[in-house]
Structure 1
Amino acid sequence: MAVRTRLSWRWRAFALLGGLALIAGMWWWGFDFGQFLGGFNRSAVAEKQARLEADAATLKDENIRLRAKLAELESELNVTHGAQTTLSRQALDLQNENTQMKEELAFLRKLFSDTGKPGTVTIQRLTAEKDRDDVYRFSMLVVRGGNPSDEFSGQLTLLANVAAGGHNSTLTLPDDQPDTAPALLLKFKYYQRVEGTFRVPNGAQLKSLQARVVEPGQATPKATRSLNLT
């Protein structure tokens, strides 16, 4: 009679698990080896992936650098364009100013040549226009004829005829507005440009303006010029 040794269920379970582990290992090794033989290498793929990620990071950094450079170039271009625009405008302003100065020089030369006896004072180019609400700006050129050796001293008096609400009134400057006195003082040898502003009553319109050159102590104006705006 043969005697068989019976293994306990625990040993059988261990043996079963060991067999399964061995089979799984052989299957995995066979699968990996098969991929290697078929041209699929995990380490090579991982290396290639790492290289691609490094290239992507490099390209990203390069993209950021190029964007910053582009922004810098755009900023420089805007500054250059703005400078060119400013220079063009300044050149045009200087050209217009130069043309105006040439015209004024020609005008003064003709004016001096046409002026009467020495000592004669005339008012030329009297203008007046609305500067803003209830404020008018005036300008004129006071010229002295001949070839004087001394300076002329005096003052301008302005008579502004204004209309408001169907009624006319006259402003006498600088008496009615003492703050205009400095702009109306005259002290020159050949000519003096006079510019300034004065106020009118609320809603009033300037109808006419008369300028008078007065010498100290003299009641009779040295020169008079009138301007009608109606």
Structure 2
Amino acid sequence: MHYRTPRIVQPGSGRPLLWTLLVLLGLFAAGGYLWLQVGQNGGPDPERLQARIAADSARIKALEKERGQLLEQVAMLEQTSQIDRAAVQQVREQLAAFQQERSKMEEELTFLRSMVSTREDREAIRVQRLVIEKGGAEGRYRYRFTITRNMQNGGTASGWVFFAVDGTRGGKPAWLPLREITEEGTEKLKMKFRNFQDIEGEIQLPDDFKPLKVIIEVKPSNRKLPPVKQRFDWKVTG
């Protein structure tokens, strides 16, 4: 029986306008990775984290308002020819980056909220943010996902994670466990964390296999934590 401990991944006249925007982007970059502060082996209590979530939500609204003002300034400057087209294009590119950072920040806030939820019907452990990317060879893929737990439960979660790909092979339904799609024949992945853990790895699919679903099953060693099994559509990014 083979198992692997996954690697834990712990994230001219136009000048004043550009500098203002760059400062805003810096604020977004800092806020977008707030989740790192909760850590995999510790972090703030739920009440403190809720306060940070509220503060960052308010900052998103404020920055969005500032973004609208900057767009108005760009339009005005274009009309009055106060800055050249190259400067306008540069500002527009920065605004696009601004929007991308805003989206990332909202995603991370959603991630944090799921960790401090007090809903009784919420799973104690969840699998989130599955990403699949093409590898360096045909049929080879990289995967990564995050396992989280509700901070209300406290303590350390440990156990095993099982990864499989469901699809068709030769026109017939097929199910490939991790041991059949990894070079080392890994059967399961080890987990041990307090708030969350990032897991990543590589798989090699057969040429005649068409993937449809990814199945991730978490089996905690603590009996108080129920096992979790989630299915995700096979979607390759990048």
TM-score if structure 2 supplies the norm length?
0.46
More helix by share: 1
Higher normalized contact order (CA 8 Å, seq sep 6+, divided by chain length):
2
